Structure formats: structure tokens, C-alpha cells
Structure 1
Amino acid sequence: MIKHMNRPSFIYILVLLLCQQVCFAAVSTDPYITENPADRTITISVPDRSMSLVIDYSTGCVIRQLMIKGQNVLSSAGVYTGIRTSDGIFSAAKSQGKVAVTTTKNEITISGIRYGNTVLMVEEQWHFKRVARKITWRIEREYKQDAELEDMAFPGWHFADLSVWKGGILDNGGMVWCKYLKQEGDTYGVHTGGVTFWNAVSGNALRISTRPENNSVIASKYTHAPNNEFVSTQLVTEQPLRQRYDLSRFVSGKENVFAPFKVKKGRTSVQYELQYIDYFQEYSRGTLPGIDVDAVRELLNTTGRYGVVDNNIIGANGWLTNWKCLHEPFFAQIGMALNDSHYTKNFSATLDQERDQAMGKDGRVLSRWHNAPGDEIPGTYNRETGYYEAMWGYTIDSQTGYVINTSEQFDLNGDLHWLRAHQVACEKALDWLIRRDENHNGIFEMVNNNIADKKCSDWLDIVWASYENAFVNAQLYEALTLWGNCEKVLGNQSQAARYLQIAATLKTAFNKNLDEGGFWSAEKNQYVYWRDKDGTVHGDNLVTPVNFAAIAFGLCDDPKRIALILDQIEHRTTAENLFHWPLCFDSFKQAEVQEGNWPFPRYENGDIFPTWGYLGVRAYVGYDKAIALKYIDHLLQQYKKDGLSSQRYSRTTQLGLGDDILAGICTSITALYRDIYGIRPKWNRMGIEPNMTPALNGTTFSYTLRDTVYRLTLRVNDYVMSTQGFSVSSSKAFGASKTGNSLIFYPGNQDSTTLTINAGSGKPIAINGMDWSGSTATWTVASQDNYTFTLKGLSPGTVYRLSINGVSRTVKIQADGSVTIRQLCQPDTKFILRKTA
């Protein structure tokens, strides 16, 4: 029986509600939303209880607790919105208005949140909604006046301390690494809002996805706050925020990384989607026998991502020092290994910006970006863009770096329109360097002429390499080869032929002996580093990037020379018990380097720089895969020791050195994916060219290329690629793509020959044992359907013998080099196509 409430009790409750400044309407019917009027809190949980919020509206409105797998990750401050004007800080935690709470079904609306002063009054509504295993939070804000703000929280997330999360993976492909917010006030600010915070021990992660509304833009900052709190703050504005201190994305000891900004009278809003993430599952690297898969995951998610400074600025020095070197050719390769569409999108935009802001009309590509002047050749720093020429000299590998990165990025984004937009710029960058062959010997000269100039010409920026530089010329060979193929795709066959011919001439000149004008030292069995304009030779001290690049980029294809170089490098590395390759094995001459490189081994004169590890792995993989894998393993072991967050390592102690962190240190692991597992995406297909060893057999992982998920299973001479639409196995390298009912197979992952398989239905296509060896093609169809097979790239007019399950007939190749076969196939239908004598 329901008893009637007496009048005194009713008045008591009414007074209590008024004192609390709260009004209620309706009751939630969602079992995962509970209210406690006495405590003035609301709890929202997802069904599996992996995440829940406790909203406190007692004095304003604050998310008081954010429970992740039963652990409250917030400090006592919680999560709330706010503003900072020139005369005060105001927040939703202390509302000046009557807070009203309305709950309906699985949604909560909290209105009447007011804070501010006569300069600016803000009124907000918060809307929470549970959608399956996610909670959405929409914040509607109304500014009552126009005003200028020093800062805002829209909202601010106050986590308990800097150990709650290892870091946060940003939705521009970058990351914030909590351990590098060392001092109170240290702040990193970027122009993006979404983030996935993770704990590498528990595997718990929190994903915050963002959607600013009303054509607004979002930025975020990450701060080491007082009481050791870790604070993540989003800012929503009409225009992109500018930096407060020069172009600095990271500032030490100063919370306000963004400049003051204006807000207009009116409404704005943003929606957040909160989700618990099983980090180990979401960022799984699959099953990698013989490889420390956890170290691979953590290395790529920290050091590998650290080079993302902000939107449109991806480098390898990173956000802590606000630096990016354009004279580094491996950023697209890092993106290939990260396999993150956000990084890929951001790097495409980075190259767009560099084309537009860092390239001169003559094709010269400026070598660096920095937050402030001080490192530049006088007069070259642009305070608006941050691009400039380095004070140490004209680093000519910025020409090759731009072209190599653009070419490899095209294979990731597959965007012909984007590539065409870079065509003129890449041609200008290459031609700027090609014009520098003043003596017409096929080798291209630097801006500096002799060591007496005391200027650099490449990445080793305090080594006075000059005039004819083997390292830059090796990178030019790679750039010419890659870009020549891009010209073919763009339909410019004459320009493609021109660049490939220049590359061929360069290769011949490069490999000549020293006394013939080339770089090969028959006396020391190595490629030397450079030749001054007066003909004197320098850098015969076994410089590893030079010799690795010659082999890795295909300039050196002589087996004897390859063995001579790689055997002595391995012998000397092993003799010193080094975990990775140093920049050089013997000392430069004192006059060849800046004084900070003396005495040997010191800095660029003999220390270990793992940045160029990918060249070593690529060089060794065709010679001795076990050696390549050994140094990959060494690097992963080093990551577990110190996080690989150093600029370089001492040759004598093998301890990390330098104030800077180089994201390029991860390249030996990007080479694990490119050169061992053979991940070779192409603009029109997924490709694999593995170099497996028995110890790696059973490697299985997923790889996403342009929204298609490929499942790869790799063993020695046994490679399987499968998607929802097809499955192909082969003992050799291949590429494959599927559009509609048609699967295209690329033997060797090359464009010269193709097999197109068109299915009569939309069922998946399964092809096993696909093998193509010049005169013979074999494959077995494992799926049932009515198929049409079209082979292209054969010799026109020749005769082949076709066998289908042992039944043979002859077929003649058409004038266009193709042949078409139609067959109703049952599982295990075997085809053999063999060229007759």
C-alpha cells in the first residue's frame, strides 16, 4: 500500500531540492544509468562495466570519477569545463546557476550550468547518452558576450598522475609520451582532439573521439599539472589556434602553449565519444615467432609516433624539441610499419605543406622546420612557416628526401589526384639537383666544394662532406628510380625514361674506381664518402650509411663487393660487441669534422646512430638474413632497457646520449615489416615480398591498406594473403587486389605480367599455389565458380600448352600479349600454362 505523504515531509523535501539548486524530470529506464539524489550524483556504465562515469552536480557539474575496469583514473579534480580570462578562472565545477537534471531512457541532460563574470558569462548544457559499449558526451556552450580568452577547458580531464597512462595515441598519428612531461607545467599542444590513452602493463585504454560542431575546430594540450596530475584539455574555437611562444608545440614549465584567442557571442558545441579499449587487442601486432612482439608494439607506438609534431608536421626529431628535418627519406616507411590511417593522412598533408611552403621557385627544398630561429643560415628562417636552411650548410638530401617520401607515400594512399598534385614539385626538386652535374660525369655536386668551407651537405650535418657526395648520390639514385615509376603511372613515359636513364648513368659512374672518378676504393673494399672539387678523396673510414645505401638502394649489385663490405662491417661490429652499427668504424680526419666530433669516437665521428638502421637491414637481408634479424633483435632488447628515446648511443659505453629524441631510431623495426615480412603496398594493390627464415615460420598478422584488412600468414616460401573477398597463396612474392568480382594477381609484385580472375558470382575467390616462373604459370582454384582467367604480359604470337587437371591443349597468345581461359571450376582445379619450345 502506498501511504500519502504528509505536508511537513513534502515541504522538507522541497526545501532540500531548492537548496541543492536541482530540478528532476522523469526517471531513466536504462539499467546502466542510476541516480542518487541524496549524494547528487549520477552513474553511467557500459553493459560489461568496463567503463563508468560518476557525475557530481552538488556545487556545479563535474565528472567526479571515470572508472576503467574498476579503477578510478581521475584525480579529485575530475573532469569539467571552464574558461580563463585576463582577470580570472571560471568553471562548471562552481556553477552560478540552477542546475536541472533530466533523464529519459538511456540519456541524461544537465542544463543551467553557468559560470563567468561581467567580462564573459558562459552557459552550458551537458548531454550524456549510452550507446552500446560507448558513452557520448555532448557539450553545448553559449557565450553571452564577445570576449578574448587566455585559455579554456572544453573540457579538461584531470588524471590522477602521470603513471596512470604510458601515453596517448593521437588521431593525427602522433602520441604524447607522459614520461617526457618531466617538470610541472610542461605542456604539449596540438591541433587535433581525439586520443587513445593506454597503460602498457594492464592493457587498459580509454579512447576519446571528438566531433566539433558548427564548423568549429579542435585543439588539445597535455600538461604536467600541480600535484603531479596529468591533465588533458580540449579547446574548441572558430579558427585554428596560434602558438603562444614562436611556433612551439611543446613548452617547458608553461601551461599556456596556445596564444590568446577570441570567442563570439553565440552557441558552439562538441561531442565526445568515450570507449574502453583493450589495448593489447586493438593494437595487436599479431603472432610474430622469434620476435618480441610486445617490444615491437610499444616501440612503434612511442618512438615511432613521436616524430609527429602536429598536423602537417611529421618528422623524426619530434615535439619535445620542436624540430623536423626534411632531409630524411624514411617517414612514409615509418607510416607503412605503423599501419595507422591517421598517420598516413597526416603525412600526405605534411608533404602538401612542404611542397607549398618549403620549396623555392627553382625547386630547392628547404632542409628544416623549427619552432624558433637560431639554427639557420642568416636570412633563411620564415617566422610564419618555420622552414629554413640549416646553419651547418645546404643539406642537399632534402631534395631526395622529399621525392622518396612522396613516391613511397603514394603507394600507401593510392591517390592519383594527390600524386599528380606533386608531379611538378617532384620534377623541380630532382631537376634542381640534376643541374648540379657541372663536370658532366654523371655524379651530382653539392653546394660546398671543399672541407675548407667547413660546411655540410647531408644528414651528417657536422661532417664537412662536399662536392661529389656518395651518400646524397645514392639517395638520388633511389629517388630517380622511384619517381621514374611514378611518372609511368601518371602516363608520362618520356619523363619516366629520362629519369631512369639518368639513374642508370649515375649507377655506372658511382661504381667506378676512385682513380676513374667513382667512389669505389679497391684498396679498402668500400665506397668512400666524398670527393672534394680539387679531387682529394675523403671518408674512407668505412662510413656505414654510405655503404649500406649503395647496397640497399641497388647501386651496388656486385656480389663480390657486397660480400667485401658486409663481411668487414659484421666482423668489426661483432669484435666491438656493439648492439647496432656506428656511423663509421674509423675516425674522420680532424679537418673533416666540426670540433665537437673530436676525439674519436664522438658524436657523428663514430657514435651509434640507429636512425639509419633500415639501410643496414635492407643491405643484409639479401646477403645474410640472420645478420639482419640479429640487429633487429638487438634494437628491441635496447628498447626494453631504455625506451630507445635518445638521439644516439655512445660507442664506448653504449648508453643513450643527446638531449634530442630521434623517431628515426625505429627504422630497423620498420625494416622488419618492409624487408623481412615483405610488406610492399602499391598504389593499386597490396603486395608482399617476404624474406623469411625458419625461426619466423608461422608469422601471422593483419594489415590494413586503404580500408581493406588483409590477413597475412608467412612461412619460408609459403605466403598467404586473404581478405573477405579472396585468398591467395604462393611460394614467391606477389601482389593482389580485388574489385567487384575480379581479382588481379601480380607475380613478383611487379606490373609486367598479371593474371585477372573474374568470378561468375560474388563469392570469395581462393587460389592456392600460385607460381609464375618466366615460361610457366601454375595455380590451383580452391573455390567453386565459373571463372574467366586473363593473363597479360606474355610474348605476342607465342604458343603455350594449357593443362587443366591433366587435360591439355594449346593456346596462342594474342597480339596484345594476352590469353583468356574460361573454365567452370570445382575445388582443387589445377592449371598449368607452359610455353612450348
Structure 2
Amino acid sequence: MRIVITLLTSFLYITKCFSNDLPQNGIVHDQLNKTITIVTQQGLSALVIDYSIGCYISQLLVKGKNKLSPSGVYTGFTTNGSAYTSKKTVTTPAVKINRNIVSITKINYGDVSETWIFTLNKNDIEWQLERNYPDAYTLEDMAFPRWNFDNLSVWKGGIIDNGGMVWCKYLHTINDTYGVHTGGTTFWNDKTGEALSVQAKALNGHQIATKYSHSAEGEFTSTQIVSAQPVKQRHHLSRFVHARPDVFAPVRVEKGTAAAHFTISYVDYFKAYDRGNLQNINAAAVRELLNTTARYGVVDNNIVGGNGWITNWKCLHEPFFAQVALAVADSNYTNNLASTLNQERDQAMLPDGRVLSRWHNAPGDEIAGTFNAETGYYEAMWGYTIDSQTGYVINVSELFNLTGDVAWLNGHQNSCRKALDWLIRRDSNHNGIFEMMNNNISEAKCSDWIDIVWASFENAFVNAQMYDALVKWASCERILGNAAAAIKYETIAQRLKEAFNKPVEAGGFWSDAKKQFVYWRDNDGSVHGDNLVTPVQFMAIASGLCDDKERIQSIIQQIEERTAAENLFHWPLCFDSFKREEVSGGNWPFPRYENGDIFPTWGYIGVKSYIHYDKQLALKYINHLLDQYEKDGLSSQRYSRTTQEGLGTDILSGICTGITALYSDIYGIQPRWNRLVIAPNLAPSLYGTSFTYPLRNVDYNVWLDENSYQVVSPFYAVSFDTTFGVSGGKGMVRFYPGDQDSVCLSVASGKAISLSVQRFDEQEVRFAIKESGRHRISLNGFTPGAMYYLSVNGSRRKLRVSKEGSIDVWQHTGADGVITVTRLQN
């Protein structure tokens, strides 16, 4: 009978909390039933603490609905085979409430004593959790605390504060557990738009880790662990373990106090992760794909990859992680990738510059003797995948454009040089094409990402990536002030370009007979891979290595005709079969695996290549990917050529890259280290697109229409009719025509500026400033000594370009005043 009365009384108190007579936020203490209800009415409707027998959070109401299982949220630990939790204490906790603060002390269980302090703020609830250990212990497990959600369908998953995510559907077996070395998670439901943010951090110099699991009761659980030292893995380096709750090793705790702070709040998921008004694009599918498939490649802190946490794998021989960061547009992902590249520089690069190709949780996939059990880096058993050299350099170069962190880039200068120079030295015949470590197909070894095809010696796919790496790194060298090094790498890139594009008969890779690039040449001169291997063609075009319009048209036309003829939703890895001796037996008979199946991982270079041929066709493949995501979540390694159904247990997050190209190559979002460049390639169906793009702590509102592009920041608005770059801050804006930063227009006024550029070339610059007032106008990068007229409001004055190539004047304009700077003819 007491249980019935308690439940009824609790219900009446919660109902009272939601009545119109109470303020929006409030704390209700039911001393009779020993419950405390913290009401927010901010989406996180209420948090109910029960301290009648022990102390735990019994309910967590989001939009009025409890998301917890009967277990609720509790603390605890396991040691010497005995488990203790805060749900059963040896004494009744003491409660003190002072306005918006709830303090619960004397939460005593086992040998520990805890204090819980809850602070009710306008938009969140803060929970400070302190535990006092009377002695040092080794704990088998710990809950600091453990959140028990009712089942795996309460949330689709959780976005983790290292840029990754936990996807509940992957925890399908009891005790499947995923563990990461961080504490913050935003749990979301993509059907209701409800999200619960639990942002956690350890205090007093301690470390925090979190494990997500599928409990024996069918719950979805999230458990924090707080320790003085980073918690280690229990099973090799595994971040995910199947059917086991013990992903982490036992934890050593010291005598004294450990503490953590949690901020609990409601998030309007649809608003917080809104992808904008994407005309004729399924924006919801874009949002979900980038919050699941793309993020799934984050295995843990310092391990951002393209395979993912279920299989505990990261391939360093993939060049697209910074591309993914661009589209995900989450600083947590970007920062984690920067740390990942730091770790790979320090742990995966050998003294001679060789970049080890993979990270894995356990040995078994490596060339004998190469697996480092401490770090997890090694060489793949299938062969030396040389694109780890290029992948590292490309990711460093492209990530720098996202972060703009020159000091970070400088920290990678020597390592990027070493990685490039290692491959540059591999040109034994001095023909400008760089060679692999395997010589011919008889060795049955791979040399790149397509790792069970025996591409050997001179590999077109790797050399195309090498060209891309050389060009991108040369630009970085210039930014770092090393013109000589930039020229060196540009010269090598140009020589490679010339050699690559030669006919196969002259030592290059172009097959004039088949109008395509072949895949590789063995050291005996035999040519292999003229079966229209799509990544080879796409990488050559996307990198700019092939810029011959006729060749591009011929390649894309063949690929499109054959893709359409088979009604494929995406391009296969190759269209015709390799020869039997060119591939591993797992690729036979055709089409099978890397001999003909569909691998969407290389979608971004496909889209980038199609842009040169037909924008609408490029868009078609993006929409196909989004349709496929709606069907199966793109939760596969590859797709069958014959059935177009997902295959493979090794889920590849790189399968998202076609959507990254939507942002980088169709919407034209091209971050540069010192500006944001807008370079759209819009099909007419996309006119009217608008969205917000965050970059380096600035939210840019982007509008894209037919020959009309606008970028608005909190400090300025800029519009133009073709590619442009923009930067600035409070009271100042810089406009760069095209994708360069040596020529620019600057306007400063000390207040917000709206700039509409109508023409920009060396003969005439014409622009309007919406706001009236006195403005400082500067033009840089012009011909020194040249003469110009500056015309405004019917008046005109003559100006000379300084020896530094600049014009700098103060000018008063009326509202929407048009300013024209026209060059005088000699």
C-alpha cells in the first residue's frame, strides 16, 4: 500500500510542478516520500531524485516523458567481486536546499562517501558529483555515474564530444560495449527531434572516460569512469567489445576525493543540427548521414578514421578525413582529427619518413614484426600501401585550411617533407613517376587502398594522390614562408603531371585505345588495369592531374553510360574484370568484392570529377546516396554489383564522402587558412539554397542562387556573382575575387558593413556599401604605379597605386553608395 501512496504522491508533486501557479523553474522537496523534483520546463521537464533507500535519479523527463529505465541514474563500483551502488546506502542521505541549489551529503555505501550538488539554472541543471575514497583501491568497474535509458530505441544514438558518435543499433547484442576517453554526449531521437545533452568533465586533474552498452535488461546505458590516470583498455586496444561489458581495464583510485561536473540540458535537435534550406536535397538525410555514418569513423580520441569503432580499425592510407571534417562542420571532430594527425606523426612515422598504413586494436592483420602492441600501428599484411604517405600529407594540408592554425602546421612541416621525400626517392628509372615497394603481380601484394588487387611498381592511383599531395603541400610551404621548398614540390608535381599523361607506349598511363588511364605498370613494362577502374580515373581528374577537357569528357561519358546501363545507384570500383592473376582469390568470379562491387567511399572524387562534365549528373549520385541512407543507413563496407544490397561486416564511414562533396564541390564551401571561399557549381535545381556554415568560431549564413552568392557573418555581409573569398571581423571586411589571397578589397568603418561587389578586375572595381558613413577603403595586389580614378556620389579623384601595390583612402558614402575605381589608360 505504501508503494501506491508513494507513486501517487510523487505524481501529484510533479503535476503540481507543471501547474501555471509555479514559476518556470523550481525545486520541490517531498520530505515524506524523500524525493526531490527539479523542474525546468526547458524541454528537460524534470529530474527526480529518490533518496528513500539510497540515492539515485529515478526519473528524467524530456517533454514530460521519462527516458530512464526503473534503474535510473546511480553511482557505484565493483571490487573484489562485490558490487556497491548508491541505490542502497548505509545511512539516510542529508538534504539541504538553498534557493536553486540542492545539496545531498552522506551518500554512504561500501567504503565511500559521496556528495551530490545540483544547481538549477535557466536552461540547464548542473550536477557536481564528489566521491571520497578512504584508501587506495583497484576497482573492477565504476559508475561515476551510470545512466540507464529505458531501451535502445529511446535515442538513435549519441554525438560524443570528440566528434564521434555511438549508434544504438550497433549495440544489438546484450553487453555489446563501446568505450571512449571523454565524457560529453548529446543523445538524440531523429523522429521527435528531442535531444538530451550530458556534458561531463572530470575535476581536480582527474581523467574521464565513458562506455556505452546494451544491458542484460535491454537498457541503453552510458557509464562514466573518473580516475587519476587515463583508463586503459582491457582487451588489447579494443574500444568496442562484443557481448562483454568490460571494455576498460580495472581502475586504480587513490585515497582522497574524485569529482566530476555534469551539465544536463535539453537540445532541440532539429534546430541545433539544422542543415538549412537545401533546395531539392533531402536535408534530413544529410543531417543524419553526417551525424552517424560520417562520425562513426571516430574510434576514440586521437583515432579518427574511415572504418570505425565496431571493428576497431583506422586506415592511414585514406586522404579524405579533412574532407569529412569540412562537411561535418563540428569543431570537436576537427580538433580530434588534428590530434590524430599529431599522434600519427609521433607514433606511425618511421625515422626514414615511411608512414605506417594502419591502426588496429589487436595483431593479426600485419606484416610479421610490424605491429606495435603499445600504439596499434603497423603495416598491412596485404602489402605496403604507399598511399599512407600521400594520405597523411593531404589530410594535414586540408585540415590546416579548416583550422588556420599556422603553429600546428609548422609542427607538421618536417614530417610532411619526410613523407613526401620518402616517396620522391622511389623513382629508380628517373622518369618522374614514383614506384611502389612491390614490383609485379607475381608477388601477389598490393600497394594501395584497393588492397587485394596486386597493383605494382608504377601505380597510377597512388601517383595521382601524390600529385595532389605535392600541390597542396607546396601551398603550405609558401604560407610558412619557404618559397624554395614550395618551388621544389611544384616542380616535382609538374614533372609527374607530364609523365603521368603520356601515352602508355611512352611510359605514361593514358590508353588512347581505350580512352582511359590504366591502373599500373609492372617493372617488366607490362601494363595492367585497363578495365576502367573508377578511382584511378576520378583521382586523376579530381586532383587536376588530368585537365584535358577531351580526355575528361571521354572518361566520364564512358563511366556514365555504363553506370546508367546497369541502373547502378553508385559507381563500381571497376567496370570490367581484372585478370585472374591480378587479384586475390576473394575477388573471383567477377563482379565480386574489389573486382567490380560498388564502394561509395570514393564518391567525393567521383562527384568532383563529374562537376567538370555535368553538374546535374553529379547531383544525381548525391541524391542516390541519400536515398540509400534512408533505406539502410549506409551501414556497409560495399554494395553488391548485382543486387545493390549492402555487403561486408567492416562498415566504412568513408562511404559518406559523396555527401562531403555536396558541400565542398557543389555548394563550393572551400575554407582557406585565412578566409572562407565560396566557389559553387550549382545545377539550376539548387538555386535558392541557404544554410549556416560554422568555421573557426564564426557562423556564416550562406545564400546561393543563380549567379548570386552571399555570405553574412555577425560583422559583415558580402555578395558577388562568382567565386570569392571573405574574411574580417568587427567593423572590417576583406573581399578576395576568385580563389586567391594576393588581391583583395578591404572596407573598414568601425561598425557592421554590407558590401555588394559588382565587378572586380584590374581595369575596374565597382562595389556598393549599404551603410552611410566614412569608410576606409583599401585595394591590394594591384600594379605599382598604376593610376586610377575613384568615383563616388558624382565626384571623382585620381589615385596612384603605391610601390607595395595598394590604394588606401578614406571615403564618405551615402546609403547604398556605389564606388567605382577605374584604371586610367596609358
TM exceeding 0.5? yes
1:160 alignment partner in structure 2: 150
Tell me how far 1:691 sits from its aligned partner. Answer: 1.0
1:817 alignment partner in structure 2: 805
* Range with greater deviation from structure 2 (724-733 or 762-771): 762-771
2:12 alignment partner in structure 1: none
Match runs of 1:635-674 below 5 Å? 635-674=625-664
1:499 alignment partner in structure 2: 489
Match runs of 1:215-294 below 5 Å? 215-294=205-284
Supply the AA of the counterpart residue of 2:753. I
Cα distance in 2 for partners of 1:800, 1:469 equals 53
Match runs of 1:103-182 below 5 Å? 103-116=97-110, 121-182=111-172
Cα distance in 2 for partners of 1:823, 1:446 equals 61
Local SS of the residue matching 1:681: strand
Residue 691 in structure 1 maps to residue 685 in structure 2: no
Tell me how far 1:122 sits from its aligned partner. Answer: 0.7
CA-atom RMSD, angstroms? 1.3
Local SS of the residue matching 1:228: coil
Cα distance in 1 for partners of 2:505, 2:808 equals 55
Residue 405 in structure 1 maps to residue 395 in structure 2: yes
Cα distance in 2 for partners of 1:805, 1:232 equals 65
Per-residue CA deviation, residues 296-320 of structure 1 (Å, 9 max, x unaligned), is: 0000000010000000000000000
8 Å CA contact retained: 1:249, 1:309: yes
Normalised to the residue count of structure 1, the TM-score between the two structures is 0.95
Cα distance in 2 for partners of 1:493, 1:483 equals 12
Cα distance in 1 for partners of 2:255, 2:44 equals 39
Cα distance in 2 for partners of 1:226, 1:451 equals 51
Cα distance in 2 for partners of 1:29, 1:806 equals 61
2:65 alignment partner in structure 1: 71
Match runs of 1:10-49 below 5 Å? 32-48=26-42
Percent identity reads 58
8 Å CA contact retained: 1:29, 1:105: no
Local SS of the residue matching 1:227: coil
Match of 1:782 among 770, 773, 781: 770
8 Å CA contact retained: 2:772, 2:817: no
Cα distance in 1 for partners of 2:793, 2:421 equals 55
Match runs of 1:703-742 below 5 Å? 703-742=693-732
Local SS of the residue matching 2:419: helix
Tell me how far 1:692 sits from its aligned partner. Answer: 1.5
Match of 1:87 among 81, 92, 96: 81
Cα distance in 2 for partners of 1:796, 1:29 equals 68
Between Structure 1 and Structure 2, how many residues are aligned? 804
Match of 1:53 among 37, 47, 51: 47
8 Å CA contact retained: 1:325, 1:368: yes
Supply the AA of the counterpart residue of 1:465. A
Per-residue CA deviation, residues 319-368 of structure 1 (Å, 9 max, x unaligned), is: 00000000000001101101101001101000000000000110000000
Match of 2:782 among 781, 794, 797: 794
| Cα separation, partners in 2 of 1:514 and 1:807, compared to 1, 3 Å | farther
Cα distance in 1 for partners of 2:567, 2:823 equals 53
Tell me how far 1:29 sits from its aligned partner. Answer: 10
Match runs of 1:85-484 below 5 Å? 85-116=79-110, 121-484=111-474
Supply the AA of the counterpart residue of 2:467. Y
| Cα separation, partners in 2 of 1:151 and 1:735, compared to 1, 3 Å | same
Tell me how far 1:622 sits from its aligned partner. Answer: 2.5
Local SS of the residue matching 1:355: helix
Cα distance in 1 for partners of 2:380, 2:800 equals 62
Local SS of the residue matching 1:94: coil
| Cα separation, partners in 2 of 1:448 and 1:31, compared to 1, 3 Å | closer
Cα distance in 1 for partners of 2:792, 2:324 equals 44
Local SS of the residue matching 2:709: strand
Match of 2:572 among 560, 574, 582: 582
Supply the AA of the counterpart residue of 2:618. A
Local SS of the residue matching 2:435: coil
1:25 alignment partner in structure 2: none
1:751 alignment partner in structure 2: 741
Cα distance in 2 for partners of 1:659, 1:393 equals 22
Local SS of the residue matching 1:78: strand
2:18 alignment partner in structure 1: none
Tell me how far 1:810 sits from its aligned partner. Answer: 4.2
* Range with greater deviation from structure 2 (687-696 or 592-601): 687-696
8 Å CA contact retained: 1:47, 1:132: no
Per-residue CA deviation, residues 474-519 of structure 1 (Å, 9 max, x unaligned), is: 0001000100000000000000011011111111111111111111
Supply the AA of the counterpart residue of 2:112. V
Tell me how far 1:71 sits from its aligned partner. Answer: 1.0
Cα distance in 1 for partners of 2:23, 2:80 equals 45
8 Å CA contact retained: 2:637, 2:648: yes
1:772 alignment partner in structure 2: 760
2:814 alignment partner in structure 1: 826
What residue ranges of structure 2 are gaps of 5+ in the alignment?
1-21
Tell me how far 1:173 sits from its aligned partner. Answer: 0.1
Tell me how far 1:141 sits from its aligned partner. Answer: 0.6
8 Å CA contact retained: 2:426, 2:434: yes
Tell me how far 1:30 sits from its aligned partner. Answer: 9.3
Supply the AA of the counterpart residue of 1:613. G
Local SS of the residue matching 2:484: helix
Local SS of the residue matching 1:751: coil
Cα distance in 1 for partners of 2:676, 2:446 equals 39
Tell me how far 1:777 sits from its aligned partner. Answer: 2.2
Local SS of the residue matching 1:472: helix
Cα distance in 2 for partners of 1:48, 1:428 equals 54
Cα distance in 2 for partners of 1:835, 1:392 equals 62
Local SS of the residue matching 1:449: coil
Local SS of the residue matching 1:196: strand
Tell me how far 1:200 sits from its aligned partner. Answer: 0.5
Supply the AA of the counterpart residue of 1:834. T
8 Å CA contact retained: 1:30, 1:106: no
2:14 alignment partner in structure 1: none
Supply the AA of the counterpart residue of 2:570. H
Tell me how far 1:754 sits from its aligned partner. Answer: 1.3
Tell me how far 1:774 sits from its aligned partner. Answer: 4.9
8 Å CA contact retained: 1:797, 1:812: yes
Supply the AA of the counterpart residue of 1:91. T
* Range with greater deviation from structure 2 (793-802 or 353-362): 793-802
Local SS of the residue matching 1:287: coil
Match of 2:510 among 509, 520, 540: 520
Local SS of the residue matching 2:412: helix
| Cα separation, partners in 2 of 1:266 and 1:29, compared to 1, 3 Å | farther
Cα distance in 1 for partners of 2:118, 2:464 equals 58
Normalised to the residue count of structure 2, the TM-score between the two structures is 0.96
Tell me how far 1:789 sits from its aligned partner. Answer: 1.7
* Range with greater deviation from structure 2 (286-295 or 697-706): 697-706
Tell me how far 1:778 sits from its aligned partner. Answer: 1.9
